[in-house]
Structure 1
Amino acid sequence: MATNTKNYNLIKPDADDFYDVNQFNQNADIIDTQLKNNADSIKAILTNDLTALPPIEATLNSGENTLTTEHDSTARVTAFEGDTIVNYVPLFDSGVWGFSSDFVVNSPSKVTLTVSDGANHGHYVVFPVKANSDYTFNVKHNANIAIYKVDGTPIQNYTSDQVITFNTGTETSIRIYFRNPNLTNGTFTFEEPMLNEGTEQKPFVANVQGITNPTIENTTTGDSITLLGTFHKGDVVSEDKGQYTVERAKREVVLDRNLSCSLLNNFSGFKRIKITGLSSNAISVIGVKYNGTILNNVDTSANVDGVQIYQNDLLISISNTDSGWGTNYSPTPEEIMAYFLGWVMDTVGQAYPSPYNGMGTKEWIKRRADGGIDSASATTTLPTTKNELIPSYRLLYNLASPVKEQVQAINSVLKLTKGDNALQVSEGRIVREVVKPYYDEGTKTSYINARNTSLASAGWTSVWTDNIKQVYADGEPVEWYIGHEVNNGVPYSYAAIELKVDETTQISVDYEPLYQFEVTAPLNNITIEYQSNLASVVNQNVEDIVQLKEDVAVIERDMVRKGEEIEWFTPTMLNGAVREGATSCIYGKDKMGTVFVKMRFIHGSDTQATAVARLPVGFRPSSIIGRSCIVANDGSSFYGYIRSTGEIFVNPTALKGKTLDINLSFKAEL
């Protein structure tokens, strides 16, 4: 008896059956039809995969996204726009609020009021505003808030509402009130105070924030891409052949370096300072003081804590109380710079504050982040270094003409795998921040960000973090123990390793800030582009290879050109190091200020960090640099370093008598 095949249902006659031509023809038709279907399917697949199709764009929202692809591929960021959010009230721990003893500051963004006597307990602070302007104030609370004029007339009386929208009328300052509900006992909290211009409620940030370090992480593959920098409203990021650029509409400047500044005017209670060289191509500016107070773009001859641009110069008005400059005292440019570095002037032997008026001996004291001073820091020597206890002044310019700049990225492309990809979009991650580990002699351990009070603060990250993600040594990932602790109720993350880190090794970290609002505005979305089929993936890979070859060719041509233009010099060898050949150890500098060091020499010492040569002034880096180099004898590696003082040295030890190759390039010190 005949049976049928499993896959195509062909008739299989039994051994005893007679031949039936109809069964043969039926089987032939089935085979013919299936072969044709298979051929058509293969043709369709080949046509789809071997014909390059346009790439696919996908817009990713902040947070979790799922992207499904048909092939392994790579994605690039093709569109991203920055944003700027301004909060006109500072954080609670800034010292500006001056809370009474009824209030406890729990964190930079939270205070608690406790009432037990059945009376009303409140507090208000005066903040500057623009006249005839709309503002929105919002704070998370379970009590009452109010907005008043400075004369005590209500603009918005006490309310349990979380958001108040109002117009300032003729007022240039307002009072913001916090209070318990009328005659009510209990514990009341106020969190994330936000005062922004306009009638739309903005997300909570500290002072002025753009979007910092937007990141896409593919948690499926472990791959990620981060665009480095802060991007403000009007800044547009684009990509071309793997290189990211931004067309900037705004520029941020930090006043933490030597400035060309001078006293312009001495007004009643405050002084107006002029800074040159910072305001070209700028049409307006706002600023942020060390305590988070916003410097409005106003007439600086009539307003304290104002900032403006006048004839390409930057003007800032500073109160005498804030600076420590007496009413009739004219500070020198160097003393003005000391103020911007975080120091307040005072008079020796008198109770603080005693602004210096030209009589007696002047001194400088470090300000603290909470508005107080660090009395132990008092010095009669004019400070020239930054006070690390407080942030620097920051300025944000609106540019008259957009400026195009390159954007550095940690990985220029994002790897995608066939199937579902879990993409996490975030902002504010701090990447490759250089830190100086603290070494504890007792435990023989180096620490990063150990914020318990028994250890020094040298290893702290710049902002508080409870999530250290990776530690790097000279740019390479290394394994450190990552721990988690709590300090005064605030969680933090630290890294530790049981050894003393060589001072010549640069240690850096990636981490997530605990308080995102201190470093970034929230990101809305970011657009990526990826290849849609196999042919497109292959074509993209070929284009990347061609672009890489072109880049290498340009670099080689530039090196040849620079080699022809550079005047080469021979350094004096030190500590027993001997050059191998008359021209084997040379250095020079091109017209762009890049220094090239090429050395082949026999090392003469086994002492760690012994200098083998020294570069003269004008040929030195601004800070220590190091690169992996090759031992010519056996091909093993070592590190070659150049200090800012010009000494060239190597690590590790046990290199005496070996032939070493060092090839380094860097920008010369200014």
Structure 2
Amino acid sequence: MPFKEKLPEWFAAGTEPTTTQKTAGYTPGLKPPAQWFNWHLNTSYLALKELQENAVHKEEIESRFNTINTKTVTLNAGVQILNAVKAAPFSLSGVTGRMLVNLLGRMGNCESVGLWSSNTTIATDTANKTSGTSSFKLTLGSIPATASATFLTTPGRKYIAVADVKNGNTSKVAMSINGIAGAVGNEVTSSSVFAPSVVRFAATDFFHIVTITGTGNSGSTFNMDSVRVYEVSEADYAAAATLTPAQVAAKWPYVDSVMPVRNPYAIRYGENLLPSFYEWAVINTGIVNLQGPYKASASTSSYPGPFPLSPLKVVVPVLPNTTYTISSAGDGIQYIERRDENDSDPSGEVVPGVIAVGSKTFTTSSQTRFLSVRLRYAAAGSFTHENPMLNIGSTAKPFKPREDSMLALQTDLYADPVTGANADTVFERDGQYFKSKKWQGLTIDGNRAWVLGDAAATAGVRQVKIVGLAAGAVAASGVATKFDGKIMPQGSTGNTADTNAVTAAGDIYIGISVADSGWDDKYSPSQDDIKAYFYGYKAYDANTITPAQAQAATTATWNGTGTKYWVQRIGLPNFTQSAPQQSYAGYTPYQLVYQLATPTVEPIVSEGQLSFNEGDNQVEVGTGIVLRERNETYQQPVEKLWNVNNANYTTTAWLKQKASDILAIYKNGKRDSTWMITNKMVTSAGALAQQYDTDHDAAAAYSVTYLMLDRSPVVPFTGSYAANEKTLLADLVDSVQQNTARVSVLENKKSDKDNPGVLSPTLLNGVIVEASFSPVEYVKSSDGLVTFQGSIKPPSAGTFVMFRLPEGYRPKQLVALMCAGNTGAADVPVKVLVSENGNVQMESTVSLAWLRLDGIKFLANR
């Protein structure tokens, strides 16, 4: 046996010599005692082992401080737990765009019953849904109940259809594609939660019909929601065959019409998953008194009952099949209920009964996606609550306030809707985030410079166009949506309604049906007519029909004779006698997305720095975040509570988008934690925040960060974090350098703003300065207001670009203003348009001697 392998056996026999043996020594020539020999051998080996361990430890320390070591991570869609070896910031390496085109448009959100065909009565159900504000609830008669919708396809191409269904008390529910043998989805029998029914099919015609069928007894019911049909690549079609229905539904989530990756974010929740009491929803007022962010008292003595009573609750995202521990101080109790992905309770509480003060460890079920934590009281009395804590794991951690970390990117990221090719990407450079932009999205409304198209009227179709708006486009790359959400494919716009065309020259063509516009084939619509249509109005002869009749008509309602009125195309048949100059609430303009021939790079708005705690981190990746949107808060006249996004009161306090969750409210740029936030669908505008009058500052500026209710695709965040001290120090030095450089740039920009320079544009298309003493100039103030001055002389009447503005001096969206012009004989008003691409365009039907630009003012897009 080798010596080193024999050592442990010898050491086991060795004992330390006695003091006598150590001091007496031994007689030369005689063998020492065996114990003494083994002890010396043992101590020598241990000394050698200690030297080796020290050497290893030294190498480890040198590695930690001398070698760069990063840990690559991919943060996937949804909630996940990441175990980090070090507390460190996250460095983003990329986010890649995606675009989903739901061939059903907005029909699949199951909000409007009239868009679907059915053999039974369809009702909307706001209590059960997976998207939007409602689902459809169908009641069976003597035969199976069906709901059907038609969509366009291309023969031979591959498609995937998904519907979220809940069978209620029917036998089964499934979706199918009419006319294709075997195109029937999996049957859903569960009545507790929505589940997907999925169909894969190859198109055999230019249109198909999707049908949802519920089978059972007369009077049975089922629900359906979030119906979507997507064209997919051959590779995705084959891959989908290996996935479960739930996996297919997750890979192809529901969207309305056309949707990119919109405003992606990644949030690392604090070690304490419970927010402050200010963010808990108040269910019964007057019961709980908030004495601080994490301190509350309650009195139920005057409550008439019945008990148990739960006056305060909060819902937090969690993972299924995961262990958590909840703890608190005081003599009140906390009660936990599990919630599935729709924030509904599938089968009772996570932990039966109430949870006493102290700590409690529990494991979530396979269906749990949220926890509803409540303060609950079983009888009259006085109670206290302090420092509630919910953390990952089986051990209660010391209390900490919740401190989240977030990286949010406010931008749209597109890609080819079928193959995913040519995707927009986000990258980081010198501490800032940029987008490699390969797609452009546009709102197509009445503010555009519309003209009649090249094609003559054919069988109830009129072609209109915008010249040069899509400059730099890849021809035939456009994907458009109509005001009702209908998908408008590329097509022959001269003879096919509801199609679009984008040319290499940047011209945009749209085909419009007579049913939508009201224009007779023999009538040549003016620019005002076209603009009125894209503001959401339909022309009609007020001498012959009513507004309601005109709105519903599918044939021509205006042929150029009579008295022209315009009726709203959507909603109530409200009308106007003068040409509309703007759209109205409830109308959604046309949208167009097209590919750029030459990609560009542009900075994007971002907020935050994602970082990880050492150990377990609960991270959520999603989309639809809106950062610090300015809000005009509103005070209720009786309760005196201040409101954000309360649809039951004035619209001034509404957010611009329906809100799923309000994440934070800021007062003069600093977070204000005194707002009471109630998330999900509280009113028709979504989530709601309220504040006591004593906490409100009427002179302050308030802004809101929130999540939109409308969904968009979610994609991973890829990046890395420092795994040792050397990398942390290097990142710190790099961050200090970048921040110093950015501060100096901001200081220089502020200096420039404080001393704005006057710029003169290059005049185009034959436009000249009207007089040397009135040159055309523009300037931007420190607050971003761009102001024009001077006068020009156009070469002729017409619509053309006078000059272009550089980046930094362009508006966020199209600005339309009326300026003073003169024909040489009389003063006339002239429309001037300043677009987001920098074009400054005039529109005049008469020749002008001069046009003054002094009235043009707008805020630059910063």
For normalisation by structure 2, the TM-score amounts to 0.58
CA, structure 1 residues 498+266, in 2 after alignment: closer, same or farther (shift >3 Å)?
farther
Residue equivalent to 1:605: none
One of 431, 453, 459 as aligned partner of 1:242? 431
Q: Does the residue aligned with 2:408 lie in a helix, a strand or coil?
A: strand
Letter in 1 for 2:650: A
One-letter amino acid matched to 2:607: I
- Aligned ranges 1:223-238 → 2 under 5 Å: 223-233=405-415, 234-238=423-427
**1:275 to 2:466 alignment:** yes
Q: Which of the numbers 546, 549, 573 marks the counterpart of 2:737?
A: 546
Using the alignment, how far apart are the partners of 1:487 and 1:547 within structure 2?
43
The answer to whether the aligner puts 1:205 opposite 2:407 as a matched pair is no
Q: Is the 8 A contact 2:756 2:782 kept in 1?
A: no
Equivalent position SS for 1:210: strand
Find out whether 1:163 has 2:349 as its counterpart. Answer: no
Q: CA deviation at 1:305?
A: 0.6
Is the aligned partner of 1:596 residue 2:596?
Answer: no
What per-residue deviation string (whole Å, max 9, x for no partner) do you get for residues 542-586 of structure 1? 112122233344455666788888369xxxxxxxxxxxxxxxxxx
CA contact (8 A) 2:145 2:215 kept: no
- Which deviations, in whole Å up to 9, do the C-alpha atoms of 1:398-424 show, x marking residues without a partner? 22222222222212x322233333322
What secondary structure, in the 3-state scheme, does the structure 1 residue paired with 2:592 have?
strand
Partner of residue 139 from structure 2, selected from 106, 114, 124:
114
Partner of 2:524: 330
In structure 2, the partner of 1:531 is: 722
Equivalent of residue 451 in structure 1, options 633, 647, 653: 647
Counterpart for residue 554 of structure 2:
none
Query: In the alignment, what sits opposite 1:172?
Result: 206
Query: Which residue number corresponds to residue 507 of structure 1?
Result: 702
Equivalent residue, structure 2, for 1:360: 562
Q: Does 1:134 align with 2:329?
A: no
- Whether contact under 8 Å (2:446, 2:532) holds in the other structure is no
Verify the 8 A CA contact 1:366 1:374 in the aligned structure 2: yes
CA gap 1:125/1:550 in 2 versus in 1, 3 angstroms: closer
- Residue aligned with 2:528, SS: helix
- Is residue 135–residue 197 contact of structure 1 (8 Å, CA) maintained in 2? yes
Query: Using the alignment, how far apart are the partners of 1:542 and 1:12 within structure 2?
Result: 57
Letter in 1 for 2:198: V
Distance in 2 (alpha carbons) for counterparts of 1:342 and 1:245 = 35
Confirm or deny: 8 A CA contact 1:595 1:668 kept in the other structure. Answer: no
Contact 1:469–1:510 (CA under 8 A) maintained in structure 2: yes
Distance of aligned partners of 1:433 and 1:129 in 2 relative to their CA distance in 1, 3 Å threshold: farther
1:421 pairs with 2:614: no
Matches within 5 A, 1:314-393: 314-348=508-542, 350-351=545-546, 352-354=548-550, 355-368=557-570, 373-375=571-573, 377-393=574-590
Query: Among residues 647, 650, 663, which one is paired with 1:469 in the alignment?
Result: 663
SS in 2 for 1:374: coil
Q: 1:25 to 1:305 in 2, by over 3 A?
A: same
Distance 1:289 1:474, change over 3 A: farther
What is the distance in 2 between the residues matched to 1:512 and 1:38? 53
Q: CA deviation at 1:59?
A: 1.6
Alignment: residue pair count:
563
Deviations 1:436-462 (A, max 9, x none): 43432233333222234xx23443334
Does residue 402 (structure 1) correspond to residue 452 (structure 2)? The answer is: no
* Contact persistence 1:249–1:398 (CA under 8 A): yes
- Point out the more displaced range, 491-500 or 461-470: 491-500
Distance 1:176 1:248 in 2: 35
Gaps of 5+ in 2: 1-13, 26-35, 127-131, 166-171, 187-196, 241-247, 272-402, 416-422, 551-556, 760-776, 791-808, 813-857
Q: Does 1:63 align with 2:56?
A: no
1:215 paired residue among 229, 251, 265: 265
Question: Secondary structure of the equivalent of 1:247?
Answer: strand
Amino acid at match of 1:114: T
**Offset of residue 31 of structure 1:** 8.9
Shift of 1:367: 4.2
Determine what percentage of the aligned residue pairs are the same residue.
21
- Give CA-to-partner distance per residue, 1:357-392, whole Å, 9 cap, x none: 333333334444xxxx223x4222333233221322
Query: For residue 595 of structure 1, what is the amino acid of its counterpart?
Result: S
Secondary structure of 1:282's counterpart equals coil
Alpha-carbon shift at residue 183 of structure 1 (Å): 8.5
- The answer on 1:103 being equivalent to 2:103 is no
Cα distance in structure 1, aligned partners of 2:439 and 2:266: 24
- Structure 1: which amino acid aligns with 2:489? N
Aligned equivalents of 2:67, 2:184: Cα separation in 1: 62
Alignment-derived partner of residue 444 in structure 2 = 255
Cα distance change on mapping 1:27 and 1:166 into 2, 3 Å: closer
Q: Give the Å deviation of 1:81.
A: 1.1
* Aligned-partner Cα distance in 2 for 1:420–1:297: 49
| Aligned match of 1:300 | 493
Q: Displacement of 1:85 after TM fit?
A: 1.2
Classify 1:164/1:530 alpha carbon distance in 2 versus 1 (closer, same or farther; 3 Å). Answer: closer
Q: Compare 80-89 and 230-239 and name the one that shifted more.
A: 230-239
Following superposition, the deviation at residue 259 of structure 1 comes to: 0.9
- For 2:77, give the aligned amino acid: S
SS at match of 2:111: helix
The answer for the alignment partner of 1:291 in structure 2 is 484
Give the alignment of 1:580-619 within 5 angstroms: 594-596=780-782
Distance 1:334 1:447, change over 3 A: farther
Aligned partners of 1:346 and 1:353 also within 8 Å: no
Deviation at residue 235 of structure 1 after TM alignment: 1.3
Cα distance, 1:41–1:119 mapped onto 2, change above 3 Å: closer
Q: Distance in 2 between matches of 1:137 and 1:143?
A: 15
**CA, structure 1 residues 430+96, in 2 after alignment: closer, same or farther (shift >3 Å)?**
farther
Query: In structure 2, what residue type is equivalent to 1:106?
Result: D
The letter for the 2-side match of 1:340 is F
Q: Which of the pair is proportionally richer in strand?
A: 1
Question: What whole-Å deviation, never above 9, does each CA across 1:295-328 have from its counterpart, x for those lacking one?
Answer: 1111112211101113421001111222333443
C-alpha displacement at 1:25, in angstroms? 7.7
Distance in 2 separating the partners of 1:402 and 1:547: 26
Determine the C-alpha separation between the residues in 1 that align with 2:596 and 2:521: 35
Structure 1 residues 179 and 667: alpha-carbon distance in aligned structure 2, compared to 1, 3 A threshold: closer
Matched residues in 2 for 1:347 and 1:505: separation? 50
Q: Distance in 1 between matches of 2:48 and 2:65?
A: 25
Query: Helix, strand or coil: the match of 1:88?
Result: coil
- The offset of 1:102, in angstroms, is 0.9
Structure 1, unaligned stretches of length 5 or more? 1-8, 149-153, 569-590, 599-613, 624-665
Contact 1:94 1:292 in 2 (8 A): no
Match of 2:223 in 1: 189
Give 2:83's aligned amino acid: T
Q: Describe the superposition over 1:236-273 as per-residue Cα deviations: whole angstroms up to 9, x where unpaired.
A: 22222222222222221122472111121433222111
User: SS of 2:781's equivalent?
Assistant: strand
Is the Cα–Cα contact under 8 Å of residues 754 and 782 in structure 2 kept in the other structure? no
Amino acid at match of 1:470: A
RMSD: 4.1
For 2:595 and 2:229, how far apart are their aligned partners in 1?
Answer: 21
TM norm structure 1 = 0.73
The alpha-carbon distance between structure 1 residues 301 and 129, as it changes in their structure 2 partners (threshold 3 A), is: farther
